[in-house]
Copies of this chain bind each other. A is one copy, B any other.
Amino acid sequence: MSSPKRTTVYDVAREAGVAASTVSRAFSNPRRVNATTRRHVLAVAERLGYHPSPLATALQSGRTATLAMLVPDIANPHFFGTIRGAERRATAADITFILGFTEESADTERDQIERLARSVDGFVLASSRMPDSTTADLAREHNLVLVNREVDGLPSVVVDNASGSAQIVDHLASLGHRSLVYLSGPHQSWLAGERWRALSAGAGRRGMGATRLGPFPPQVAGGGAAADAALVSGATAVVAHNDLLAIGILRRLAERGVQVPEQISVVGYDDIFGADFCVPALTTLAGPQEEAGRSAVEILLTTGSARADPESPRRVVLPSHLVIRDSTGPAPDPGR
């Protein structure tokens, strides 16, 4: 299954009539080698089919040229973009990309980090479930970049929830809604907190009422309970923690014979795959997910370099925009 003997720096060195260190430099430190020598070495290497061993390189240098991304669950299409953006950027930089799932558990997340620590140069943590303190502790030992999560002092990339939530409030207000209900994700979720904060603040500015219900599991299956709770509350407009939940809500509402958006408007977050073809098509807050992943890896790339670039942004906020589809409409006539 594997060749009897791989060619090493020494084979190339002997064949090229130089020292092993020169071969090494020719590959990893081109400018420290005479151009001619280098070309010759590379030619010989090519001829011998030599490829540096990433393992040996990593063992010696301490740099693994590998990074890991940890995601709560791949079943949420929301993460596609982020994963893909991160993978692309990593591969482009010749960095190996490890993907791990945390099963929505802070403990699993922590374990994964410990487990991979020696094999990677850094971590991209997407929607991390760990408490601030744990995260900060880990950051002392490892290179971390957060996506859609912020912890004081740690580099992060987030989609702008404040402005996005304000856009949602404005949209609902302009449709004549006098109040909204936020159907929350897990209470320990940082995003849920951010969204609720921004939503209620926006509602306040608009003189609208705002209520938080939940928590609900941020999945399609959570939509049943969420929809029922919303109906009981008499809401005319609900904002779901994410599109998965929103789609579940739409489904339950349809089962109950409640018209969307005539009787109730529904808004989601993320603009996931399917948000445009569920019925009615979902009004939702879209953000550049792929860019978020790309950007997180970018930060890791510069952070990892010897001289951490103080110029490079350590906190990136990406713009979001509301995609208005068919799940939102004028508030029902209160007279009826």
Contact = CB atoms under 8 A, between A and B. Distances in A.
Interface of A: 1-3, 51, 53-56, 58-59, 62, 64, 66, 74-75, 77, 80, 83-84, 87-88, 91, 94, 96-101, 112, 114-116, 118-119, 141-143, 247, 250-251, 273-274, 277-279
Chain multiplicity (copies): 2
Contacts of A100: 87, 91, 97
A55 B96 contact: no
A220 to B, nearest CB: 8
Nearest to A308: B1
Contact of A80 (B75, B141, B250): B75
Contacts of A279: 277, 279
Top 4 A-B pairs ranked by shortest CB distance? A274-B274, A99-B99, A55-B59, A277-B278
A119 B80 contact: no
Contacts of A1: 141-143
Contacts of A273: 75, 77, 273-274
Given A55-B59, A74-B80, A273-B77, A119 B98 contact: no
A103 to B, nearest CB: 9
26 contacts: A1-B142, A2-B62, A3-B141, A53-B59, A55-B64, A55-B118, A66-B119, A74-B84, A75-B80, A77-B77, A87-B100, A91-B100, A91-B112, A96-B98, A96-B116, A97-B99, A97-B100, A98-B98, A247-B277, A250-B277, A251-B277, A273-B274, A274-B274, A277-B278, A277-B279, A278-B278
